[in-house]
Chain A
Amino acid sequence: MNALRIKNFEIRNRLFVGTGKYETYEIMQKALEASGCQVVTVAVRRERLIDQQGRSLLDYLDLSKYVILPNTAGCFTAEDAIRVALLGRELLEKQGNPGAGWVKLEVLGDKKTLLADPVGTIEATKELVKEGFTVLAYTSDDPRSAVRIKEAGAAAVMPAGSPIGSGQGVLNPLNISLCLELLKEGDPDYPVIVDAGVGTASDVTIAMELGADGVLLNTGIAHAKDPVQMAVAMRHALEAGYLAYRAGRIPKKRYATASSPFEGVISYIPGE
């Protein structure tokens, strides 16, 4: 696979994996390793002043190996998303991780669907770009919103295949392909990453076969019966889709076309 370039970031592996919802930090570590990912996402939350175990996620992530992509999950206004982005950057600057330069922007509309609020996303994108961030913006699969977010200055747009954590895969392949078409018009290297909704390996392949530059997922691995095995499946699925897209699929046809020649058959052919 070619490296994926998102502004000043060069990413070797196009699978971005989240760190949420694993049963233990140890399983998370193994799953991340098995997925082959280079980019891992994290969330910013209030430090619990009384934490029995006193364990920090940061103790379980090899910061020399992974590029951390902090998100603004849980933010419903542009203002809050900007605050969280600044806090995430501060944390990563302290850790000396290159992820300090970017953010996965989420400005959500409501808690039930977790769908992105396009107006808030655009507002926050503009502001964060001014603050010097490389903005990777989560959005729904609406192609026109995606274009507006790109115009606002996002370095990558990340349309959702289906709602976050729903495991429904790519529900509207047409919309994802229209997002890709519009975002890449005259700008073929503009990065588009399908984010959210992946339930199993084939969903990743489908996203990549549509021409996505990468896939971001979390629950599909973390809540699989065997997260480590699923992580391996996701890695292969991504590669399969990447290669198939570049190889160029055959057009779909209504009727069969024989793979073995009819010329020279010794059999009776109906209708001839």
Chain B
Amino acid sequence: MTTSNMTIKLNGTPHDVPEGTTVADLVAQSNLSPDKVAVELNRRLLKTDKYATPLKDGDEVEIVTFVGGG
């Protein structure tokens, strides 16, 4: 079985990831638990119950959290 790669943009940077990668996989690689991040897929808010959706080549994902600010 061959797993092909696809290229997505994660937080502004291109990443090669295996096909079938989900937002949940990306969140798991971050340092924060899923309840401390919010996610955008292709500039639209992605609710937590959609994190298991497989990504497509060219998808743009933003994973954000809170930082200090005024």
Contacts and interface: CB of A to CB of B under 8 A. Distances in A.
Contact of A21 (B10, B29, B65, B68): B68
B66 A42 contact: yes
Contact of A91 (B31, B65, B68): B65
Contacts of B17: none
Interface in A10-66: 18-22, 28, 41-51, 54, 56-58
Contacts of A41: 69-70
Contacts of A94: 35-36, 38, 48
B45 A90 contact: yes
Majority secondary structure of chain B interface residues (helix, strand, loop or mixed): mixed
A71 interface: yes
Contact of B70 (A18, A57, A87): A18
Most buried by B among A28, A46, A71: A46
B67 A42 contact: yes
Contacts of A19: 68-70
B64 A47 contact: yes
A139 B12 CA distance: 29
B45 A87 contact: yes
Given A57-B68, A58-B66, A95-B35, A90 B30 contact: no
Interface of B: 10-12, 29-32, 35-38, 40, 43, 45, 47-48, 62-70
Interface of A: 18-22, 28, 41-51, 54, 56-58, 68, 70-71, 73, 83, 86-88, 90-91, 94-95, 164-165, 196, 216-219
Nearest to A218: B70
B11 A216 contact: no
A164 B70 contact: yes
Contacts of B62: 46, 87
A217 B35 CA distance: 28
Closest 9 CB pairs of A and B: A43-B69, A218-B70, A18-B70, A20-B68, A19-B68, A90-B38, A54-B31, A87-B38, A46-B11
A9 B12 CA distance: 36
